[in-house]
Structure 1
Amino acid sequence: MTLRLILMRHAKSGWDDPSLSDHERPLNKRGRQSATALGVWLRREGYFPDLVLCSDAVRTRETLDRLNLETEARVLSALYLAPPGILLQHLHQSEQMPTVLMIAHNPGIAAFAAAMIAAPGDTDFRRYPTGATSVIDLPIADWERAKTGNGSLADFIIPRQLI
């Protein structure tokens, strides 16, 4: 059996209001457009998550909302600026659903994506800019068996390629 993991860095956030904490920063105009385009891309390519695990930061929640997915979503404070080990821990705790989407932050989400596959790929993958999205297939029957290095990169996109 193969399970699919989609890893997404939140779309571009705004820095217009210096009084906001990092956790409270919303998406900027480009980020809102990018998140909408990523949602269209996910649906067009048939990447329909059965579960979404999302950081509780404003920019990740706005990214999730603009994806316009009709699926169960869990907003988790533990995913805010989480390192790869925490992301993997939460993936292990996911129910047995065929496809899980995680929306989080750099540097953790980029390091997690690179760790999950055997070969990291192109420069954009290594940079993992805002909105970067990896689709990773894992030859496992349940999420508890997910481990680093055993996934294969099925697809990768950044918003600049979509808009």
Structure 2
Amino acid sequence: MRKLTLLRHAKSSWSDRTRSDIDRPLTGRGRRAALKIGTYISRNAIFPDLILCSPAKRTRETLAQIEPFLPDGTEVQIEKSIYSAGEGSGLVSYLKGSAIDEAHVMIIGHNPTMQQMALALARPEPDNGYRQIETKYPTAALTHIRFDIPTWRQLDGRGELVHYVTPKMLPGGEEEEE
């Protein structure tokens, strides 16, 4: 059994146009949204063995917000290819071709990659959130997919969409998402 959790970074700031894209930080709203997702992760025991995180400031800050909700010692790797992954198929190929042995991997990245991966890897079933993912994959959206495979190299089909959640779906989630 393999599990993949996809987390789009929380809301980031565009206020300083002189900053490069990779250096954009989270907004206050983004930090609060990431904390809500961290609480959800903890309450639902969505604990990855390995976190692959983009080097962008906004993804690293999202990770910092959820880390207190994760078990101590969760392995984290900053992976440059996530920042420039383009389509989700590139990261799927990365998972399949890598030496990753951990059963549960979380990727903290960017759109459109996170949305494309979720759509490509989750089975579309009635009322499982797939239609919502098709419509929009807002900042701090989290998707958790379970696959009945023994290794990542066998990642060829779609898995069971176990969780799809956005900060707006959680208590106190009245803030608008992007």
Band the TM-score falls in, shorter-chain normalisation: over 0.9
* C-alpha separation in 1, matches of 2:116 and 2:147: 17
Q: Give the share of equivalent positions with the same residue, in percent.
A: 37
RMSD after superposition: 1.5
Aligned match of 1:72:
75
Matched, 1:114 2:119: yes
Aligned match of 1:15:
14
Moved more, 12-21 or 119-128: 119-128
* C-alpha separation in 1, matches of 2:10 and 2:42: 17
Q: 1:150 to 1:124 in 2, by over 3 A?
A: closer
Aligned match of 2:150:
141
Map 1:49-64 onto structure 2 (within 5 A).
Answer: 49-64=48-63
Q: For residue 124 of structure 1, report the CA deviation from its aligned partner.
A: 4.7
1:4–1:138 CA contact under 8 A, matched in 2: yes
Q: 1:66 to 1:159 in 2, by over 3 A?
A: same
Please give the TM-score of this superposition, normalised by the length of structure 1. Answer: 0.92
2:3–2:104 CA contact under 8 A, matched in 1: yes
Unaligned runs of 5+ in 1: none
* C-alpha separation in 1, matches of 2:160 and 2:59: 25
2:38–2:65 CA contact under 8 A, matched in 1: yes
* C-alpha separation in 2, matches of 1:126 and 1:9: 15
1:5–1:137 CA contact under 8 A, matched in 2: yes
Of 93, 102, 107 in structure 1, the residue corresponding to residue 107 of structure 2 is 102
1:4–1:136 CA contact under 8 A, matched in 2: yes
* C-alpha separation in 1, matches of 2:134 and 2:37: 16
Partner AA of 1:110 in structure 2: Q
Aligned match of 1:46:
45
* C-alpha separation in 2, matches of 1:19 and 1:77: 22
Q: For residue 90 of structure 1, report the CA deviation from its aligned partner.
A: 2.6
Aligned residues: 161
State the 4+ residue runs in structure 1 displaced beyond 4 angstroms.
Answer: none
Please give the TM-score of this superposition, normalised by the length of structure 2. Answer: 0.85
Aligned match of 1:156:
164
Q: For residue 130 of structure 1, report the CA deviation from its aligned partner.
A: 0.5
* C-alpha separation in 1, matches of 2:56 and 2:99: 20
Partner AA of 1:157 in structure 2: V
